[in-house]
Amino acid sequence: MVLPSYAGEPLPSFRDVAGAASTHEAGAAYTVPLWCTLRLLGGALRRGFAREAMLRHMRVPPARQDDPQWPVPVADLGALLRHLARRMDDELVGLWVRPVPFGSFSSVARQLLHCARLGEALQLALRLYRLIAPGFPLRLRVTQGLARLEMQPQPSDADVTLDAAAVYWTLALARWLVDRPIPVHSAWMHSPAQDSCYRERQPFFEVPTQYGCARTGIAFDAGWLNRPLARSAQSLEPLLAALPAPLMRAGAPPPAAAEQVCSQLQLHGGDGFAGTLQSVARTLGLSPRSLRRRLQEEGCSWHDLKDAMRREQALDWVSRTDLSLAEIGERLGFADVSTFHRAFKRWTGEPPGEFRRQHQGRAAPPPSAPASFRLAAPASSAGHRGH
């Protein structure tokens, strides 16, 4: 299946900011109309949270609290939604018939970063959400070359606002994971008609939408499901710290080339260290020359990153597993055990056998190399101790 091309154009957003000097400034100035924020806050309102207090939290002037078009900064809305989610212990702030415990998204997102490709990550996310909140109605399926992300029919008392929000935020998460503006092919909404308040320059899902449908969903080229992930744990913390604002606009910073390289090395564990610059560049859709240039612009090199990842993994495996030193060296891609011994002594100042005697069972020391990514250790029974 051929992946769609990427022209590098900025994503259209729910409310584009004209004349912004940079993506960062556009994100900082991004707003959502008041009527839309009140729809998202409908569950909290039904559960007794005061409208006036929430409007003050979003810094809406008293004189404009009845103006449906008043622009609410998405950062203010995001801060309020996080506050409510903690208070209610429900990340969907009452929009669904069952709560989704606070912290669920963080736990799910960390698991997604271990996936190789977008389709695998999205299916895992939906399975985990069905475990966390049984019956969660979002589904992903592929038909006739199109991936359909769609909400299933819900109880009559469910808030239809969740339908559009869940699909939109999942699409935004998918775009963040692959760092590409996945184009929407078609969209359909359960809502009976476009709201009279809606005056945005672009449709909600960026394409003309059918209203009054049995369900809410979107379709996009299924080739995107084969796209490798571009993110790693390094970029997850800033996303989590500002949620849900980064999923409501197109201003999230792209991952650095070094981060994407380390993500690939992290993903494949020991096998990744035997990979070549050419194979990693091909996975990332770059030429080896372009990848080298981007790494150089970021002040590092392929050798630096691979050496740093090898060092961290070596310290972890030597101190926390019973793998023989020969097997560790082989897994890390060293030609023989003596080469691994020399590298380990260069990293730590002592041979691996002595390091193991001193640190067995304890967490590995933090790396001094330019990149720090924690890799999963193999089972401690997968080998024998060696010196």
- Between CA 131 and CA 36, with CA 152 as vertex, the angle to 5 degrees is 100
Mean pLDDT of the chain: 76
The structure's pTM equals 0.61
| For residues 57-66, average pLDDT | 91
Q: Report phi then psi at 221, rounded to 5.
A: -55, 125
CA-CA distance, 6 to 197, in Å (whole number)? 33
Q: In this structure, is residue 281 part of a structural domain?
A: yes
Q: In this structure, is residue 148 part of a structural domain?
A: yes
Residue 370 tokens, joined: 């330019």
Beta-carbon contacts of residue 1 (< 8 Å; ≥ 6 apart): 222, 223, 226
CATH number for the domain including 268? 1.10.10.60
Q: In this structure, is residue 1 part of a structural domain?
A: no
**Strands 186-188, 138-143: pairing kind:** unpaired
pLDDT classification of 61: cutoffs 50, 70, 90: very high
Q: In this structure, is residue 385 part of a structural domain?
A: no
- 275 and 210, same domain (yes or no): no
- 199 and 106, same domain (yes or no): yes
Q: In this structure, is residue 369 part of a structural domain?
A: no
Picking from 217, 248, 279, the residue at the C-terminal end of a domain is 248
Task: Decide which of 187 and 21 is more confident.
Answer: 187
For residue 220, the one-letter residue type is F
CA-CA distance, 90 to 73, in Å (whole number)? 22
Q: Give CA separation, 64 vs 61, 77, 367, in Å.
A: 5, 16, 53
Task: Decide which of 160 and 342 is more confident.
Answer: 342
| pLDDT of 246 strictly over 90 | no
Give the tens place of pLDDT for each residue, 169-226.
899 899 889 888 888 888 888 877 666 665 444 457 777 778 788 889 999 999 999 9
- 230 and 308, same domain (yes or no): no
Residue 341: domain span:
257-359
- 186 and 37, same domain (yes or no): yes
| For residues 17-44, average pLDDT | 63
| For residues 38-57, average pLDDT | 92
Picking from 191, 226, 248, the residue at the C-terminal end of a domain is 248
User: Whats the size of the chain, residue-wise?
Assistant: 387
- 328 and 225, same domain (yes or no): no
Q: Give CA separation, 325 vs 100, 271, 297, 334, 378, in Å.
A: 45, 16, 36, 11, 14
Q: Report the range out of 17-26, 250-259, 295-304 with the highest average pLDDT.
A: 295-304
Question: What pLDDT, on a 0 to 100 scale, did the predictor assign at position 366?
Answer: 43
Q: Are 30 and 12 in contact (CB under 8 A)?
A: no
Cα dihedral angle (253, 268, 110, 122), rounded to 10 degrees?
Answer: 80
> How many C-beta atoms lie closer than 10 Å to residue 314's C-beta?
25
Q: In this structure, is residue 367 part of a structural domain?
A: no
Question: What pLDDT, on a 0 to 100 scale, did the predictor assign at position 89?
Answer: 94
Picking from 216, 248, 280, the residue at the C-terminal end of a domain is 248
- 79 and 199, same domain (yes or no): yes
Helices 161-178 + 118-132 axis angle, to 10:
140
- 87 and 214, same domain (yes or no): yes
- 161 and 241, same domain (yes or no): yes
| For residues 96-105, average pLDDT | 90
**Strands 71-73, 31-33: pairing kind:** antiparallel
Question: What pLDDT, on a 0 to 100 scale, did the predictor assign at position 276?
Answer: 76
- 220 and 99, same domain (yes or no): yes
Structural domain total, the chain: 2
Q: In this structure, is residue 241 part of a structural domain?
A: yes
pLDDT classification of 322: cutoffs 50, 70, 90: confident
- 213 and 269, same domain (yes or no): no
Q: In this structure, is residue 92 part of a structural domain?
A: yes
| pLDDT of 284 strictly over 90 | no
- 269 and 295, same domain (yes or no): yes
- 217 and 281, same domain (yes or no): no
